[in-house]
Amino acid sequence: MIYLDYAATTPLDKEVQASYQDLLTNHFFNADSMYDAGLQVARYMEKSRELLGQMLQCNSEELIFTSCGSEANNLAIKGVAFQYANRGKHIITTSVEHSSVYEACRQLETVFGFEVDYLTVDKYGCVSLEDLKNKLREDTILVSIMCVNNEVGSFNDLKAIKKILQDYPKVIFHSDMVQALTKVAIDLNVVDLASFSAHKIHGLKGSGLLYKSKKIQLVSLISGGQQEFNIRGGTSDACTNIVFAKTLRLAMDDFKQKQSHVNFLNDYTRQKLTDLQDVVINTKKECSSNAIINFSCIGYKPEVIMHALEANNIYLSTRSACSSKTESVSRVMKQLGLDEDIASSAMRISFGSETTMEQIDEFIYYLKESLIKTRKKR
């Protein structure tokens, strides 16, 4: 199998799996129980939180365990909106956010009466700083802008955004960093809130994390328990939370070496794709994560090409997995202002450090073969 969909999810690290299985077997106790076995699990979980804080360079009490990146995004956006509604009801985000951010903002608009502005982006998915400046208002309470786009891989200059927001000290800055963790440099000092997910870095599905600066207050979305500093009630998924720290540590090991390899794969794949007839690359190298390349096979239905590759045991995607069943053409690709034939034929490949040059060669071979066969049937 050749797997080229690491932006959707990643294979579970064997060491993480072994630790998780051991915890499930021997430390299944409720972390809120008052007997020793439960207290031991609680200590393990707090140790994980402490290690995560060290690796992310923040205080451990600023980290909230969630069930996934989508929950972290919802908790950040709705938690801020409800907490600070007395200051104003204006929110700014972008038109190319992950659906968990975009739909959370839409819900705040349609159900709770907030006003949301969606920033425009250029054809590569990068946000317009001028547009941000123009849309900021005295009643703006939240700006949510993703770090790395999940479909085209473009990243935003969070430091430049933070600099603009310094003139609006009451505005809270959230960033969806799910695709950024261990892919690009992260500095939590420039944001107030940031969302992460473990299964994008060879961890467990159902495992997320929200960074919340200690100066920020959130309204809880799940009431009924004192867990996670009274912000997220419910029985802690302690075993899952405990292995998050190990997941991140393993993902960060040999960071420079892994990044160098992925960068090489990116360059190599770009060159190979450029040589193919009818193929254009939508991801700009200079402003994107090395882990993602979005390209279009102009005039071809991406699902046809995807399934042709799948028949040869090669797996990639046509868009974000979280919206793959709801949209005929990706909302993100539409927002880039691309021609219809490019936007409607877009596909995404995403690398891991395990991906090899030989796998890329095989992918390119079968992609070329699929294009030729499909072209002949026209």
CA–centroid distance for 143 within its chain: 17
Residue that is written with structure tokens 């989508």 in the block: 70
Please indicate whether residue 126 is annotated as part of the active site.
no
Amino acid identity at 3: Y
What pLDDT is stored for residue 160 in this prediction? 97
What pLDDT is stored for residue 320 in this prediction? 60
Helix, strand or coil, per DSSP, at residue 197 = strand
Residue 326's pLDDT band (boundaries 50, 70, 90)?
low
The pLDDT tens digits of the residues spanning 156-208 come to 999 999 999 999 999 999 999 999 999 999 999 999 999 999 999 999 999 99
Question: What number is the average pLDDT over the span 204-226?
Answer: 95
Question: What number is the average pLDDT over the span 56-72?
Answer: 98
Amino acid identity at 279: V
As separate numbers, helices (DSSP H) first and strands (DSSP E) second, the chain gives 13, 12
What pLDDT is stored for residue 322 in this prediction? 58
pLDDT at 306 exceeding the cut of 80? yes
pLDDT at 321 exceeding the cut of 70? no
What pLDDT is stored for residue 323 in this prediction? 58
What pLDDT is stored for residue 374 in this prediction? 86
Q: What is this structure's pTM?
A: 0.94
pLDDT at 325 exceeding the cut of 80? no
Q: Which residue has the higher pLDDT, 248 or 255?
A: 248
Q: Contact, 117 vs 90, CB < 8 A?
A: yes
Among 68, 105, 239, 322, which one carries the catalytic annotation?
322
pLDDT at 21 exceeding the cut of 90? yes
* 281-308 burial: b if 16+ Cβ within 10 Å, else e: ebbbeebbbbbbbbbbbeebebeebbeb
